[in-house]
Amino acid sequence: MTIGAMIGDILRSLFKKPITERYPFERKPAPERLRGKLHYDPEKCTGCMLCMKDCPANAIEILTVDRAAKKFVMRFHTDRCTYCAQCVQNCRFNCLGMESEEYELAALSREPFVVYYGREEDVQFILDRAAQENPDGTDPCQPPAAA
Amino acid sequence: MSETPETPQKFVVPIGPQHPALKEPGHFEFSVDGEIVTGASVRLGYVHRGIEKGAENRNYAQAMYLMERVCGICSHVHATAFALGTEKLAGVTAPARAQAIRTIVAELERLHSHMLWLGVAAHEGGFDTLFMYSWRDRETVMDLLEAITGNRVNYSVNLLGGVKVDITPELADQIRKGLDFLEERNQHYLKVVTTDETFLGRTQGVGTMTKEQAFLTGAVGPTARASGVEIDIRVHAPYAGYPDFPVNLVIDTAGDLLARFVVRIKEMQESCRLIRHILDHMPETELTVRMPRRIPAGETISRVEAPRGELFYFIKSNGTDQPERVKVRTPTLCNWGSVINFAPGHKLADMPMILAGIDPCFSCNDRLISIRRNEQDPQLWSWEDLRQYGVQYYK
């Protein structure tokens, strides 16, 4: 039976430096296996769409530019993604990867959350097609404005 | 505080759904005679999220990630239970190394859950020093989980038919080093909770539940084991890596709050021992096996030992790639009966500790709300009423 059984811990802590991390002024290195922003390599993609099928958050859209020439564009929604890496597991051609460096993905508007991956001309093709379908310039990913 | 007209001496103290002492919403009514609680009732359902219904519209891989989000503390056991059940339906067994990794992550998760509980329970008892230090030490196990899996909360270790991550020898050394520190600290905490006189005054002989009461009220997990009930799914129905790496049952016969502290801290020591044992005898196999997308029709149950007790999954498949029904029963739901039964006779001031003693997780246990009221009750709205109200509101 004692009183103040943790007094030793408290006294020892008095002479220790505070453990608080001064984020964002000092950044600790991210753990090696951290699942950060998704990256896509259009050169290897065969358009099997398995990543899209198993995504629990519907964060991935594979848009077909030319199926015969294997031209695909990925529209990735960073705000919907739960960073579970199921898509990376599903991809048999190693064209998906989650980088451990890019993880500070907060933004002040919704635009940065829609990311297009693909060959430059293919992305332009998709954007042009989207612009044609929506001539008034509304973002197809946004909910329709109230009438 | 409200006074009921029929019994003028009886006061009912309502606590919740929003209350500073509660971390999650739940409603409790304690009828008191002076300071002594004479009756208790609990009302749940404030954080019902429709997860079971959500699982029916997703394929098995997607549903597993949804299930992982049933609980924020024990996310891995939910995914494990779902994956094991689905693998059983598909007639597939994950390789031995995958099962061992599942077990290691489950035990690390148990460590972090119990350390979190130790802090919360100490805080409810007014022992904030223990709360601060146990949470500081919990960072060690959180960092280990982050190093193994890449995330601190939703680890996403499981795949249907295996695991995603491997444990390399360097990681194994890192885990061993972390466990050395944790074992030493846990030994210290065991000494603190069993010797500190002020804290013993809050725990010893408080909320005592006998073995018979625990049986009658259907208590599970450490709450039941602290009353001497020998119940542990890891021992009695081993799953994943537990058939190869048996775990020792930790029980205590006192049945009071102190026993719940002792059982959980000893369980942490047992988890440390088990993780070391698995790391020293890791099976050398593949990490995954091929899993069919369409799961053959059938139904199965899958039981695992979550940090709070037995977690139960029922999965029904209709031969497609989406489950027809997933039923989840979390351990907290089983333990409410015991709280309500052993609360009367104690001081109102002991209630927070008695509630915290079962390690409740409110949003885990909210599954389905069934309202038993008169059809004419103006407070009861049907789906059609709600729809009409919505239409009128937005007109």
Say whether residue B62 is in contact with chain A using an 8 A CB cutoff.
yes
Q: Check residue B232 and give left, alpha or beta (phi > 0: left; psi -120 to 50: alpha).
A: beta
Q: Check residue B343 and give left, alpha or beta (phi > 0: left; psi -120 to 50: alpha).
A: alpha
Decide if B161 is inside a domain. Answer: yes
Please tell me the distance from the alpha carbon of residue A58 to that of residue A75, in angstroms, as a whole number.
11
Say whether residue A53 is in contact with chain B using an 8 A CB cutoff.
yes
Give the residue extent of every domain in chain A: 30-133
DSSP, collapsed to helix, strand or coil, labels residue B199 as helix
Find the mean pLDDT for residues B4-25.
Answer: 76
Searching chain B, which residue's CA lies closest to the CA of residue A1? B195
Decide if B128 is inside a domain. Answer: yes
Q: What is the pLDDT of residue B6?
A: 56
- Beta strands B309-317 and B298-306 are antiparallel
pLDDT in tens, B123-181: 988 899 999 999 999 999 999 999 999 988 899 999 999 999 999 999 999 999 999 99
Please tell me the distance from the alpha carbon of residue B266 to that of residue B287, in angstroms, as a whole number.
31
- Which residues of chain A register pLDDT less than 70? 135-147
Find the mean pLDDT for residues B26-34.
Answer: 89
> What CATH number did the domain enclosing B248 receive?
1.10.645.10
User: ipTM score of the complex?
Assistant: 0.87
Residue A98, amino acid = M
Say whether residue B294 is in contact with chain A using an 8 A CB cutoff.
no
Closest listed residue to residue B67, CA positions, set B145, B158, B144: B158
Q: Answer whether B13's CB lies under 8 Å from B4's CB.
A: no
Closest listed residue to residue A55, CA positions, set A98, A21, A23: A98
Name the pTM for this structure.
Answer: 0.90
Residue B355 pLDDT more than 60? yes
Decide if B304 is inside a domain. Answer: yes
Please tell me the distance from the alpha carbon of residue A7 to that of residue A13, in angstroms, as a whole number.
10
- Beta strands A114-117 and B11-15 are unpaired
Tokens of A51: 């990543």
Of A6, A32, A35, the CB nearest to B151: A35
Q: Name the CATH code of domain A30-133 (choices 3.30.590.10, 3.10.20.30, 3.30.70.3270, 3.40.50.2300).
A: 3.30.70.3270
pLDDT in tens, B252-305: 999 999 999 999 999 999 999 999 999 999 999 999 999 999 999 999 999 999
Of B154, B156, B195, the CB nearest to A2: B195
Name B199's Cβ contacts closer than 8 Å, sequence gap at least 6. Answer: A5, B122, B125, B127, B130, B192, B193
Is the Cα dihedral B164, B169, B172, B173 positive or negative? negative
Q: Answer whether B2's CB lies under 8 Å from B10's CB.
A: no
Q: Which domain holds residue B309?
A: 61-327
Find the mean pLDDT for residues B307-312.
Answer: 94
Name B256's Cβ contacts closer than 8 Å, sequence gap at least 6. Answer: B203, B204, B205, B206, B207, B208, B209, B226
Highest mean pLDDT among B8-17, B152-161, B354-363, B378-387: B152-161
Helix boundaries (H) for chain B: 51-56, 60-68, 75-90, 96-124, 128-149, 169-195, 197-203, 211-217, 221-225, 233-236, 257-280, 331-342, 351-357, 362-365, 383-393
Residues 128-157 of B with CB under 8 A from A: 129-130, 133, 136, 146-151, 154, 156
pLDDT in tens, B193-207: 999 999 999 999 898
Decide if B5 is inside a domain. Answer: no
Say whether residue B75 is in contact with chain A using an 8 A CB cutoff.
no
Decide if B356 is inside a domain. Answer: no
Decide if B100 is inside a domain. Answer: yes
Q: pLDDT band at residue B1, thresholds of 50, 70 and 90? A: very low
